């Protein structure tokens, strides 16, 4: 793997960390709520991008997000719960993008801590895989 590709991985990892590290659990106003949604959306997108990048770099055909998540879980023998949580986060990203209603907004806000934990867990796995394939 070339240095440019490795840099892309690290840029995506850093993006996720930068956007979630200080993410508040409870927004104080509408602007902060929008910031939380944007941070979650872009972080989840970066996580899904990392999955697709790994799939490609492991020599597996890249497919849709859900199939890629299933494939990386299977190939790396990861806990199925992790895969389900990644799929749920990916679905949440779609809800954020389309902003359906206040009920769904509250579900997302209630999931901030869970998504942060999932993000850190996934970054650790990506770094382990990178250490193996570099």
Could you read off the pLDDT of 15-31 as tens digits, one per residue? 999 999 999 988 999 99
Model confidence at 1, pLDDT cuts 50, 70, 90, reads: confident
Hunting for tokens 């055909």 — which residue is that? 61
Q: What pLDDT does 19 receive? A: 95
- pLDDT mean over 54-77: 97
Q: Is the pLDDT of residue 69 over 80?
A: yes
Q: Give yes or no for a contact between 131 and 3, defined as CB atoms under 8 angstroms apart.
A: no
Vertex 50 angle, CA 75 and 32, to 5°: 135
Which 3 state secondary structure label does DSSP give 23? coil
Q: Give yes or no for a contact between 52 and 9, defined as CB atoms under 8 angstroms apart.
A: no
Q: Is the pLDDT of residue 98 over 90?
A: no
Tell me, yes or no, if 93 is annotated catalytic: yes
What percentage of the chain reaches a pLDDT higher than 90? Answer: 85
- pLDDT mean over 37-63: 96
Q: Which has the higher per-residue pLDDT, 60 or 98?
A: 60
Write down the catalytic residue from 8, 10, 15, 93: 93
CATH class of 3-133: mainly alpha
Q: Is the pLDDT of residue 10 over 90?
A: yes
CB crowding 78-105: b at 16 or more within 10 Å, else e: beeebbebbeebbebbebbeeeeeeeeb
Tokens of 5: 């590709």
Q: Give yes or no for a contact between 129 and 122, defined as CB atoms under 8 angstroms apart.
A: no
Q: Which has the higher per-residue pLDDT, 99 or 81?
A: 81
Tell me, yes or no, if 5 is annotated catalytic: no
Q: What pLDDT does 133 receive? A: 85
Q: Is the pLDDT of residue 100 over 80?
A: no
């Amino acid at each position: 793997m070339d240095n440019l590709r490795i840099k892309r991985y690290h840029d995506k990892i850093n993006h996720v960390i930068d956007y979630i590290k200080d993410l508040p659990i409870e927004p104080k106003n509408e602007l902060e709520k929008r910031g939380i949604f944007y941070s979650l959306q872009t972080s989840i997108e970066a996580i899904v991008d990392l999955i697709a990048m790994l799939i490609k770099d492991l020599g597996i055909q890249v497919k849709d997000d859900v199939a890629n998540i299933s494939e990386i879980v299977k190939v790396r023998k990861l806990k199925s719960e992790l895969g389900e949580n990644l799929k749920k986060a990916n679905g949440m990203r779609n809800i954020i993008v389309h902003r359906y209603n206040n009920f769904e907004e509250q579900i997302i806000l209630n999931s901030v801590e869970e998504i942060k934990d999932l993000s850190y867990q996934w970054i650790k796995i990506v770094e382990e895989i990178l250490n193996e394939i570099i």
